[in-house]
Amino acid sequence: MAEPGAASTRERILLAAIECMEGQGVEGVTVRGIAAAAGVNVAAISYHYGGKGALMEEALERTLHNAFSLEELDGLLADGFGLRQALGAYLVQFLEDALKWPGLMEAHLHDPLTRREYPERLVRRMDEMLKRFAGVVAPLMEGVGEAARLRSAVQFWSAVLLPVLLPGLFVGAGVDLKEESGRRVYVSSLLDRFFSGSTAGGG
């Protein structure tokens, strides 16, 4: 049986690791820094996680789930929102959160960008999200095969993620996502194109 307070201590350490990863990047995170942020001693990290490696893996898994599970989108649809309205609300919030935590996005892409290595957790989560998204938008794409729906999902999410990863690169083209008004305009334009072109293609 876990000791009283063990679950809250474990969660506090995990949240501290996520905070440190956001502020210092994957390579800058230290066990001592996490312990200080969590208000625990270094031994507590070994006790609850076995070491920094396992803790960082869980922190990355947690943040990937939070970012790409589509649970918020499912909730909006379950509440009776139409597909376009639900996607719009979900994406505006997604962009806000992603821009608020840029270090986490960089942490997930650290190995692909610097080492050309693709962690299984990232590939698996992205694959799950794209397939789930393709299923959600399937009613818009009647008669379109699964492969074509997945290609559309890849194209759609590329347009969502690229301005998040490189926000300063597209300001000259009028894409500035720092303010909510800019995020809403961008999402509306993206959805206009997606909904108007969702029945194109085949396969």
> What is the percent of the chain where pLDDT is above 90?
76
Is residue 119, in this structure, part of any structural domain at all?
yes
**Residue of 111 and 202 predicted with greater confidence:** 111
Same domain, 11 and 36: yes
- Mean pLDDT over 155-166 rounds to 94
Is residue 19, in this structure, part of any structural domain at all?
yes
Is residue 114 a contact partner of residue 169, using CB atoms and an 8 Å limit?
no
Q: If you search the block for the tokens 């989560």, which residue do you land on?
A: 125
pLDDT confidence of residue 7 = 56
- How many domains would you assign to the chain? 2
pLDDT confidence of residue 203 = 43
pLDDT confidence of residue 25 = 85
Residue 36 has pLDDT above 90, yes or no: yes
Residue 4 has pLDDT above 80, yes or no: no
CATH number at residue 56: 1.10.10.60
| Final residue of a structural domain among 18, 38, 62 | 62
Is residue 203, in this structure, part of any structural domain at all?
no
Structural domain including 15 reads: 6-62
| Final residue of a structural domain among 62, 87, 105 | 62
State pTM to two decimals: 0.84
pLDDT confidence of residue 140 = 86
Is residue 60 a contact partner of residue 54, using CB atoms and an 8 Å limit?
no
Which are the contacts of 129, defined by CB distance < 8 A and separation ≥ 6? 68, 69, 70, 157
Same domain, 131 and 184: yes
Residue 118 has pLDDT above 90, yes or no: yes
